[in-house]
Amino acid sequence: MIPPQNHLLAALPAEIFERISPYLELISMPLGEVLYESGGQLQYVYFPTTAIVSLHYLLENGASAEIAGVGNEGVVGISLFMGGNTTPGLATVQSAGWGYRLKGRLMMEEFNRAGPMMRLMLRYTQALMTQISQTAVCNRHHSIEQQLCRFLLLTLDRLPSQELTMTQELIAGMLGVRREGITDAAGNLQRAGLISYRRGHITALDRPGLESRVCECYNVVKKEFHRLLRDAGSM
């Protein structure tokens, strides 16, 4: 049976999925769990199903900001098959849920067959690079309110509901901005009737309204994932 909700696993040809499925481990991914640390050797790749993982870049003074998020559309641990095997970043669970993990050795065996798995992973990596690049541009040129809308929409795209459990302090850390800036931006969105916020729970009340306020970065990332992965099942 194809694991639910991870689009990369679902896109694999049946022959490949049958080969790796006995080794896919369904794991709980609790909020805040560290999947890998900066400079650490990658032992597994992770395919989230209901969890969302945040990829951070760490500075020497301990500060960090999110450079990308990975949910049911992707895989965590691209450094393994891109040849680096380590990364200067940090991967932590942003939204608790479930996912599958696969030993790095088994992933590399399949990747090195130079077949559909390799082509699918390379396409996904290009889409992820687009997200990372767009995040950098967005954080430099767009308002905190626009960044918050982008973050909320990309997160909601990976969830089964229109509600996420997340504090303003956590979002501020993800975006690398002051908490007061998130408080002001969230207040503006709530007064406009676009979201409801209470005790760490954010509910999207008017998604079209959020989309009307978000910067171009959201659609750039969404369209690139769709362009690169829409035909993945025929690879």
Residues 207 and 152 in one domain: yes
pLDDT in tens, 16-40: 999 999 999 999 999 889 999 887 7
Mean pLDDT of the chain: 88
Give the pLDDT band of residue 3 (cuts 50, 70, 90).
low
Residues 113 and 175 in one domain: no
Same domain, 115 and 149: no
What is the percentage of the chain residues whose pLDDT exceeds 70? 96
Q: Residue 176: name the closest of 81, 49, 64 by CA.
A: 64
Range of the domain at 27: 7-138
Q: Are residues 90 and 188 located together in one domain of the fold?
A: no
Amino acid letter for position 126: Q
The pLDDT of residue 1 is above 50: no
pLDDT for 27 equals 96
Q: Are residues 106 and 55 in the same domain?
A: yes
Q: What is the pLDDT of residue 191?
A: 95
Structural domain count of the chain:
2
- Per-residue pLDDT, 112: 93
Q: How confident is the model at residue 211 (pLDDT cuts 50, 70, 90)?
A: very high
Residue 122 in any domain: the answer is yes
Structure tokens at 148: 């918050």
Q: What is the pLDDT of residue 227?
A: 85
Q: What is the pLDDT of residue 232?
A: 56
Please indicate, yes or no, whether residues 119 and 210 belong to a single structural domain of this protein.
no
Q: What is the mean pLDDT of residues 41-68?
A: 86
Question: Does residue 33 sit in the same domain as residue 97?
Answer: yes
With respect to residue 233, please indicate whether it lies within any of the assigned structural domains.
no
User: pTM score, two decimals?
Assistant: 0.88
pLDDT: which is higher, 206 or 231: 206
pLDDT in tens, 124-144: 999 999 999 998 888 889 999
- Helix pair 116-141, 217-229: axis angle to 10 deg: 170
